[in-house]
């Protein structure tokens, strides 16, 4: 049962910050989940929304700012928006990194960064899993490098996700936990896929999905899993 910290340990520190990912490591998480967009100058930026409005003291779309400009905005008055490289260096192979592709154009950049860390820093493909609700970007990822593990995100329909997972030879299916029951979890696993639901936070919901024997849980409070 993998304990995966959603946007870092989001229940305890501001989401998608170095501090949230450090907290996830401190809680002995088996993995972290994060979201990525591109800056105007092509850096991979770890942030959930298309804009910086909700999480920082700035306003505007992430992909209209350079990295230097993005670094000038603050989260909770003190933290900076991190890059994906910074998170890789913080984690330093201590746990699985689930990278959710949000922004257009992120797939080739993320694939190149993963390949660099594998070639130069001795990381392994198993240290990563790329997911997205945008299945075109998952197909693009799989074509760029079929060795990179892929998780199919779905909030709608397990059967369609299962068919797509088979088509692109994914490693996992990441469903909204409310879509799950013991039968469909077993069906996905029998076809060879890990089942990693999100975002499961209450003790009651955690117990429920555990009873379905999922392979892991993505949670804001991974310590409760
Ligand atoms: O990866 C699962 C979950 O993070 C998807 O939803 O909106 O939190 O990115 P969201
Ligand atoms: Ca996410």
- What six digits make up the tokens of 211? 């009873």
Closest-CA residue, ligand 1 atom 10, reads: 48
Q: Is 48 a catalytic residue?
A: yes
Residue 165, pLDDT score:
98
Report ipTM for this prediction. 0.98
Residue 100 Cα: closest atom of ligand 1: 1
37 ligand 1 Cβ < 6 A: no
Residues with C-beta atoms within 5 A of ion ligand 2: 35, 100
13 ligand 1 Cβ < 6 A: no
Q: 199 C-alpha to center of ligand 2: Å?
A: 9
| pLDDT range class, residue 121, cuts 50, 70, 90 | very high
Q: Which pLDDT tens digit goes with each residue over 33-85?
A: 999 999 999 999 999 999 999 999 999 999 999 999 999 999 999 999 999 99
**Domains (range + CATH), the chain:** 2-224 (3.20.20.190)
CB 201 within 8 A of CB 220: yes
Residue 149, pLDDT score:
98
Query: Rounded distance, CA 94 to CA 30, Å?
Result: 8
80 ligand 1 Cβ < 6 A: no
User: What pTM was computed for the model?
Assistant: 0.98
Of all residues in the chain, the percent with pLDDT exceeding 70 is 100
Query: Rounded distance, CA 1 to CA 217, Å?
Result: 7
220 ligand 1 Cβ < 6 A: no
């Amino acid at each position: 049962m993998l304990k995966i910290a959603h946007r870092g340990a989001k229940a305890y520190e501001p989401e998608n910050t170095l501090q949230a990912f450090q907290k996830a490591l401190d809680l002995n998480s088996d993995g972290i989940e994060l979201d990525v967009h591109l800056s105007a100058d092509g850096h991979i930026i770890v942030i959930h929304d298309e804009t910086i409005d909700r999480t920082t003291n700035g306003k505007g779309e992430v992909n209209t700012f350079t990295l230097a400009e993005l670094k000038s905005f603050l989260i909770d008055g003190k933290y900076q928006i991190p890059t994906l490289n910074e998170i890789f260096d913080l984690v330093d192979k201590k746990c699985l990194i689930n990278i959710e592709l949000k922004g257009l154009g992120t797939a080739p950049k993320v694939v190149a960064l993963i390949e660099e860390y594998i070639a130069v820093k001795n990381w392994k493909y198993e240290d990563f899993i790329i997911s997205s609700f945008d299945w075109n970007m998952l197909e693009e990822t799989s074509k760029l490098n079929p060795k990179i593990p892929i998780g199919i995100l779905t909030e709608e329909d397990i059967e369609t996700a299962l068919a797509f997972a088979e088509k692109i030879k994914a490693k996992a299916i990441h469903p909204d936990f409310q879509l799950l029951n013991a039968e469909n979890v077993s069906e996905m696993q029998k076809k060879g896929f890990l089942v990693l639901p999100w975002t499961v936070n209450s003790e009651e919901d955690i117990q429920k999905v555990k009873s379905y024997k999922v392979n892991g849980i993505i949670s804001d409070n991974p310590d409760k899993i």
